[in-house]
Structure 1
Amino acid sequence: MHPSIAQIAAVDWDECACPETSDGGRPYDPFTTHRFLLALEESGSVGPGTGWEPRYLTAEMDDQIIACAPLYAKGHSQGEYIFDHNWAHAWEQAGGRYYPKLQIAVPFTPATGRRFLTRPGYEVEGMSALIQGAVQVASENDLSSLHVTFCTEAEAIAGERIGLLRRRTQQYHWQNRGYDSFDAFLGDLSSRKRKAIRKERQRAQAFGGTIHHFSGDDIRPEHWDAFWEFYQDTGARKWGTPYLTRRFFDIAQDTLRNDILLVMAQRDGAWVAGALNVIGRDTLYGRYWGCTEDHPCLHFELCYYQAMDYAIAHGHTRVEAGAQGDHKLSRGYLPVPIHSLHWIADAGFADAVARFLEAESDAVDDDIEVLTSYGPFRKAQIEDQQ
């Protein structure tokens, strides 16, 4: 267990987290790369006073790291997006102490990816070692629980088989069904929805300015200055205090700019709105949005439609637009199941949580089926996607 990812060589971590980058391409999950997690830590976005205390796990065999996990000691349940506030409240009402707890996750990042990062060929041994190690740390320190959030479905199934509690929630994703243009996507929609989206895009693009894409060396410090204002405004309204520090965006300029797509709106020479996306190998991840001027439908244009345009142009198979937001449904983002794993120390409380999760899972299945039927796609397309 390591209190700083700086104690782990980047090459060792990334050979477990993103071995696919050995061909020079992008990682599938840019959020579990050494550089991204280090940026969170070095910027003070996680660490002392944040409620996210790094405790990175590594498993070694024959003096080689075969697996690692982004583990944190949590002093609250903020910034997780698969929330357990009710569990904490129930346990504390019963006289227990829920915090601190352990969390295997990427802080402030509701994006699915591997959480048990294993070197190729060591998937079974590596995951088993990490789970055993994390549970042992929780047990020996008399902690209430361990949570693994936004893991893959395969990890959830494997974790459930070895005794962890499996949870299913839902999120909205857009699937690129081989479209060669945005109009091709619109062709899959019902006539009424197709007209509504075209009208919405026209209204948004009439805000009186221009929309720009910036990635890699095209990103300049002035773009981060503007985006920090956007991020602060949104963070203050949604969370009270923004999770990321200003320093994070400075580090992003130095080490993460090739992983980032900024979609910025400019009017009369000033930046008035923007959306930040993180680029994976086959997925575009929408993360943050903000503005200093309100313009009709500009949020939908920058966050959703521009992301879809980019994904189509660059061959991405999916856009994940973050947590919550039923308004995404009418814009082509359909509900999909999201997975997490949980270990509860107290047997009685674990049994109560297990019964809750069983009922919740049935409700999630029903919600996904109903919501999908209300999506904008033509009936034949809905049946294909189901």
Structure 2
Amino acid sequence: MNYRTQIVSSLDEIGQASWDALVATQQERNPFLSFAFLHALHATGCASPDSGWQPQYLTLWRGQSLEAALPLYVKSHSYGEYVFDWAWADAYRRNGLDYYPKLLSAIPFTPVAGSRLLARTEEASDRLIEALYGLQEANGLSSTHILFPPESQARKLKDAGFMLRTGVQFHWVNQGYRDFEDFLSTLDRKKRKNIRAERRKVREADVTFRHVPGTEATEADWRFFKRCYDRTYAAHYSTPYLNLAFFQRLGRTMPQHLRLIVAERHGRPVACSFVVHDESTLYGRYWGTMEDIPCLHFETAYYQPLDFCIAQKIPCFEGGAQGEHKMARGFLPHRTWSAHWLAHPAFADAVERFLQQEAGGIDAYLDELNDRQPYREMR
């Protein structure tokens, strides 16, 4: 087939109908791949040339039909990626070479696995990878990185010459629990006791919770959440990636996938978490608090969302990046993938050796984690 290749700097050039129709054909899709989410990042300046995220989406067309696309950015830094290559960039710098700009395929600020090679057919997917190599060569950039693809696409990229890297996240799986106590009954005794103690501390602090679907969230709700979000970043001496306009825009364009969980004390809000969900998965994203209350983080960011998953029969809760402490709350280790290509042969060889060593460490880490399963029947 003959495809027309087009580099797109704004999703407006594609249109919501065409983009979402392509995403709908993917088995590994989620709300973060939607036009509404990605365009909100771009339109509000969170992921834009000014913030070091220059959209350069690679697309393939047949006539007016969008047949394949790769969410792609020219990056001038490595912030907001969650697959860390700072050491690679430093090695380039120490050898008088430029690591930035680089090409990155990812959902900005979102360490959630999902399709990256968006294609209607395997043949279109193959042509998309060929076009990516052509783009790399034409621009003379140092490297290309594809973050959090599904394993099948990672393997396909490896066959095409990319190097693979693995990581670990922690996901909770709904085993058809009747309620939270039914879930607790499957954990070992110490884990059950600790979770009950954590929940009791929050109740004894006179904290109650209000679940706000995105369709019902008010301007005041979004502003309060943003204050909590900003305070969390300030506590870690860092700058928030996302602005109020971004969250407000999501509230208008994809409210059916959003939920705010507001903690209240003595009639006033004190903390809030923000989650995204569809029928198959709930994604824990952000949380923050205006008061330091013991165990409030666990209740607001984990236990209240777990209650929601159980009530709505949502099969999976992805708790976000990192966080081995999640295992004590019923989350299990899950392997993640990324694919990398470096133009400089000597650095590519060095990184490949590093990744081979790192992979062995990840395998050993997963074995160790699996030996510490929190569930009684898995021991």
State the TM bucket, normalised to the shorter chain: over 0.9
After TM superposition, the structure 1 stretch with the greater mean CA deviation from structure 2, 175-184 or 97-106, is: 175-184
Match of 2:4 in 1: none
Match of 2:106 in 1: 105
Match of 1:149 in 2: 147
Give the one of 212, 215, 219 matched to 2:213: 215
How far does the alpha carbon of each residue in 1:206-242 deviate from its partner, in whole angstroms, 9 at most, with x for none?
3323101111322111110100101111123336110
Match of 2:12 in 1: 6
Match of 2:3 in 1: none
1:268 equivalent to 2:259? Answer no
Give the one of 183, 189, 192 matched to 1:191: 189
CA apart distance, 1:272? 0.7
Q: How does 1:164-183 map to 2 (within 5 A)?
A: 164-183=162-181
CA apart distance, 1:138? 2.1
**Do the aligned partners of 1:28 and 1:283 also contact (CA within 8 Å) in 2?**
no
**Do the aligned partners of 1:105 and 1:150 also contact (CA within 8 Å) in 2?**
yes
How far does the alpha carbon of each residue in 1:62-85 deviate from its partner, in whole angstroms, 9 at most, with x for none?
442111121111010000001111
Give the one of 276, 282, 285 matched to 1:284: 282
Match of 1:381 in 2: 378
Match of 1:307 in 2: 305
How far does the alpha carbon of each residue in 1:359-379 deviate from its partner, in whole angstroms, 9 at most, with x for none?
11111111011112223222x
Match of 2:62 in 1: 61
CA apart distance, 1:118? 1.8
CA apart distance, 1:28? 4.1
TM-score normalised by structure 2 residue count? 0.95
Amino acid at match of 2:11: I
CA apart distance, 1:255? 0.8
User: Where in structure 1 are there 5+ consecutive unaligned residues?
Assistant: 22-26
**Do the aligned partners of 2:26 and 2:119 also contact (CA within 8 Å) in 1?**
no
User: Where in structure 2 are there 5+ consecutive unaligned residues?
Assistant: 1-6
**Do the aligned partners of 1:169 and 1:364 also contact (CA within 8 Å) in 2?**
yes
Counterpart-to-counterpart distance in 1, 2:336 and 2:310: 24
Secondary structure of 2:148's aligned partner: strand
TM-score normalised by structure 1 residue count? 0.93
Match of 2:347 in 1: 349
CA apart distance, 1:340? 0.6
**Do the aligned partners of 1:29 and 1:281 also contact (CA within 8 Å) in 2?**
no
CA apart distance, 1:355? 1.2
Counterpart-to-counterpart distance in 2, 1:282 and 1:375: 23
Counterpart-to-counterpart distance in 1, 2:15 and 2:330: 41
Amino acid at match of 2:107: V
Amino acid at match of 1:368: L
1:48 equivalent to 2:49? Answer yes
Secondary structure of 2:365's aligned partner: helix
**Alignment length (residue pairs):** 373
**Do the aligned partners of 2:54 and 2:75 also contact (CA within 8 Å) in 1?**
yes
Amino acid at match of 1:113: G
Counterpart-to-counterpart distance in 1, 2:357 and 2:99: 23
CA apart distance, 1:131? 2.1
1:131 equivalent to 2:129? Answer yes
Secondary structure of 1:336's aligned partner: strand
Give the one of 368, 371, 375 matched to 2:369: 371
Counterpart-to-counterpart distance in 2, 1:239 and 1:84: 21
Counterpart-to-counterpart distance in 2, 1:238 and 1:59: 42
Amino acid at match of 1:189: L
In structure 2, the CA distance between the partners of 1:313 and 1:28, relative to structure 1 (3 Å rule), is farther
**Do the aligned partners of 2:174 and 2:309 also contact (CA within 8 Å) in 1?**
yes
Amino acid at match of 2:97: G
**Do the aligned partners of 1:286 and 1:322 also contact (CA within 8 Å) in 2?**
yes
Counterpart-to-counterpart distance in 1, 2:62 and 2:350: 37
